[in-house]
Amino acid sequence: MGRRIVVTTLLGAAVACGHKDPPASPTPEPPVIANPPPPEPMVGNPPAPEPPPEPQPLSTHDLTRFTRVLNGKDAEERRILRRSDGTCYVNLPLPPAEGPPISFRPPPQQDTACPPHMSDASWDACLGTVQATEDLSECACLVMGNPPPPPRRLDACPTAATPEEP
């Protein structure tokens, strides 16, 4: 019974003093969300430029303008090709005993000396046959394969043979 009296007393005292529930707090304003400010202009090194686009493949029709072959020839008039390590070779015919190839396989190769003009680093851009327009203003790279990759235009023509070179 004592408990009730205490509770009643506290409740009665609160009513007698005119106590009211505290006023409800006002609804808070929602926070303002905004986009961050634009970035400051960059000071220092600018970003690296985009790499140049891949050269566009040439159509068969476009190749009719590329009439001059820049690769050298060996003593037997075989076209000299350059490897990625800077050495040169010629393709040999397939041995007759093997018959016609069933699928593509590279022909046998024979190492040969690079002509002076093919020793230039500009030949690294094409590891096949380089064909150019007569005035050497444009060049194309043609590579063997089955199927061969499409011929592609070179950004710059490699060095060409001088008139005294084969």
Query: Which H helix or E strand runs over 114?
Result: none
pTM for the whole thing? 0.59
Q: Is residue 2 part of a domain?
A: no
Please tell me the distance from the alpha carbon of residue 112 to that of residue 4, in angstroms, as a whole number.
115
Q: Is residue 87 part of a domain?
A: yes
The tokens describing 106, both together, are 């590279």
Please tell me the distance from the alpha carbon of residue 155 to that of residue 108, in angstroms, as a whole number.
30
Q: Is residue 9 part of a domain?
A: no
Q: Does residue 68 sit in helix, strand or coil? A: strand
pLDDT tens digits in sequence order for the chain, 166 residues long: 455 554 445 445 555 555 555 556 667 777 777 777 777 776 766 666 776 556 566 766 677 888 999 999 999 999 999 998 989 999 998 777 766 666 667 788 999 999 999 988 788 889 899 999 989 888 999 988 777 888 888 888 887 765 444 4
Query: Which H helix or E strand runs over 2?
Result: helix 2-16
Q: What is the number of structural domains in the chain?
A: 1
Which of 127, 132, 130, 131 lies closest to 109, judged by CA?
127
| Residues β-bridged to residue 20 | none
- Look up the domain containing 139 and give its range: 60-94+105-153
